[in-house]
Amino acid sequence: MGIDRTGVMDDSTLQYDLWVEEALRDVIRRALRFVETEGLPGDHHFYVTFLTGAEGVEIADFLRAEYADEMTIVLQHQFWGLDVGDDSFVVTLSFNGVSQTLRIPFAAVTAFADPAINFALQLKMPDATSRPGVEPATNAPQGAPQGGAPAQPAPSDQAEKEEKSGEVIALDAFRKK
């Protein structure tokens, strides 16, 4: 941290908040890279929430029309072609029986959860604080079996389940006051 000409400490030199966000996005990148090479182990599955209008997001027009602000996808039973890069990932999902390829930059991700182990990350977005009324999307038809596995819960059930089982990691508890 530097001191400016007036003797006031310049806190812009050490941008901890940005570094923490980068580190959290790296956790997501690492989890997806693991799944890309090894597959999903056990009961692990991911909910990934992202801003549909963010720069670099590539989704079908009908999905963008339905989820103009934010969308949650589920990576569990039916996803293909997961390709994780440094700045984004590409995945093909089934929406009402139709395969769609999505490209999602990590900078657009606002939340990530793995309910199998009660793990969740909530990421800060400079212009996206809370978005009331935004419904999560799923890549599965409601109530449809997934490759012989149990049916995906409806979006409202997913949100309720995440609230009950997910744990959001907040770093404020570790900051000196």
**pLDDT surpasses 90 at 89:** yes
> What are the tens digits of pLDDT across the range 16-56?
888 999 999 999 999 999 999 999 898 999 999 999 999 99
User: What is the predicted pLDDT for the residue at 4?
Assistant: 53
Q: Locate the DSSP E strands across 19-144.
A: 46-51, 70-75, 79-84, 88-95, 98-105, 109-114, 119-122
> What are the tens digits of pLDDT across the range 60-75?
999 999 998 999 999 9
Q: Is 45 exposed, middle or buried (0-12, 13-18, 19+ CB in 10 A)?
A: middle
User: What is the predicted pLDDT for the residue at 11?
Assistant: 60
Q: What is the pTM of this model?
A: 0.66
User: Who wins on pLDDT, 72 or 13?
Assistant: 72
Architecture of domain 2-174 in CATH? Roll (2.30)
> What are the tens digits of pLDDT across the range 91-143?
999 888 889 999 999 999 999 999 999 999 999 865 443 344 434 444 443 33
Query: What's the rounded Cα separation, in Å, for the pair 171 and 169?
Result: 6
